[in-house]
């Protein structure tokens, strides 16, 4: 296995893209740290990973809280001694037209989607640079490329993630650390269905497709860097 004994942190790992990415990486030989607020969900995913013969830690984490993120990363290093892969997947979307966006909804989406990505990246970045290897995958959205109506806060956060990804790679590449942006279109997740209950399921991207793309990105040779991948559908 190309990734045997690698260690990955996956945020938002209890369902959707995060869960499928954790399982796909585990099948490729990776030991997984599952970080999310939903304890029963990440515990269930951890059991699935252990059934595949990989090690798994389920660590309740709110990625908007610096101390919780630092604690999660410390537990990871205590257990495995390294982090090879970070998947910044935790996300939050509440769609409203600009006049109707509540300040708290704005703050929450910036906090989860952008600040959370920053805090998790910051917590592993120095150690990745010191070990001269690391893959950081930031899950954005096609709404982070083009801002559709009612996506004001979400798009603003995801555009920010794109900038952060570029800076992360610019600072990390001389140390062997890559940062890649993944921008899926409309994907069949609970978050999507909560916001768009009338979607036709056949028009949505399957989370497994995004997970397989992530596996492709983290198995590229050191000298190859794919800065951005976009998956479009007829909806986005």
Length of the chain: 236
**Quick one: average pLDDT of 37-48?**
97
For tokens 């917590």, what's the residue? 123
The span from the CA of 106 to the CA of 88, in Å, is: 20
* Separation in Å, CA 148 to CA 64, 93, 102, 103, 153: 25, 13, 18, 19, 11
- State yes or no: pLDDT of 19 exceeds 80: yes
Question: Nearest CA to 41 among 23, 66, 64?
Answer: 23
Sequential DSSP letters for 175-210: GTEEEEEEEE-SB-SHHHHHH-TT--GGGSBPHHHH
Amino acid 36: pLDDT: 97
User: Quick one: pLDDT at residue 202?
Assistant: 59
Q: How confident is the model at residue 143 (pLDDT cuts 50, 70, 90)?
A: confident
Instruction: Give the 3-state secondary structure percentages of the chain, helix then strand then coil, rounded to 5.
Output: 50, 20, 30
pLDDT band at 231 (very low <50, low <70, confident <90, very high): confident
Is residue 10 classed as helix, strand or coil in its secondary structure?
Answer: strand
pLDDT of residue 192: 54
* CB-CB contact of 137 with 229 (8 Å): no
Instruction: Give residue-wise pLDDT tens across range 66-92.
Output: 999 999 999 999 999 999 999 999 999
- Three-state DSSP class for 221? coil
The pLDDT of residue 194 is above 70: no
| Digit-coded pLDDT (tens) for 147-170 | 989 999 999 999 999 999 999 999
φ and ψ at residue 139, rounded to 5 degrees: -85, 115
Interval 21-30: pLDDT, tens: 999 999 999 9
Taken in order 104, 106, 109, 110, is the CA torsion positive or negative? Answer: negative
How much is the pLDDT for 31?
A: 98
Taking the C-alpha atoms of residue 21 and residue 211, their distance in angstroms, rounded to an integer, is: 4
Q: What is the pLDDT of residue 58?
A: 98
Q: Verify whether residue 169 is a known catalytic residue.
A: no
**Within a 13 Å sphere around the CA of 139, how many CA atoms are in the beta-carbon half?**
28
The per-residue pLDDT for 195 is 55
Task: Indicate the SS3 state at residue 170.
Answer: helix
- Specify whether the CB–CB gap between 13 and 22 falls below 8 A: yes
* The pLDDT of residue 146: 87
3-state helix/strand/coil string of 130-142: HHCCEEEEEECCH
- pLDDT at residue 144, rounded to an integer: 85
**Is beta strand 7-11 parallel, antiparallel or unpaired with respect to 177-184?**
unpaired
Asked if residue 187 has pLDDT above 70, the reply is no
| pLDDT for residue 188 is more than 90 | no
Question: Which domains are delineated in the chain?
Answer: 7-231 (3.40.50.720)
């Amino acid at each position: 296995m190309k990734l045997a004994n690698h260690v990955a942190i996956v945020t938002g790992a209890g369902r959707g893209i995060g869960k499928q990415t954790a399982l796909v990486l585990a099948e490729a030989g990776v030991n997984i740290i599952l970080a999310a607020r939903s304890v029963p969900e990440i515990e269930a995913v951890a059991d699935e990973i252990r059934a595949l013969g990989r090690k798994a830690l389920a660590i309740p984490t709110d990625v908007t809280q610096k101390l919780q993120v630092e604690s999660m990363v410390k537990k990871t290093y205590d257990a495995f001694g390294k982090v090879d892969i970070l998947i910044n997947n935790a996300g939050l979307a509440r769609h409203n037209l600009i006049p109707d966006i509540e300040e708290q909804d704005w703050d929450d989406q910036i906090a989860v989607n952008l600040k959370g990505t920053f805090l998790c990246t910051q917590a592993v970045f120095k150690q990745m640079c010191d070990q001269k290897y690391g893959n950081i995958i930031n899950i954005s959205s096609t709404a982070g490329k083009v801002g559709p109506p009612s996506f004001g806060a979400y798009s603003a956060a995801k555009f920010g993630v794109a900038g952060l990804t570029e800076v992360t790679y610019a600072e990390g590449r001389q140390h062997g650390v890559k940062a890649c942006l993944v921008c899926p279109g409309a994907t069949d997740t609970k978050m999507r269905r909560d916001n768009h209950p009338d979607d036709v399921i056949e028009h949505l991207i399957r989370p497994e497709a995004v997970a397989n793309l992530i596996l492709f990105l983290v198995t590229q040779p050191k000298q190859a860097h794919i800065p951005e991948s976009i998956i479009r559908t007829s909806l986005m």
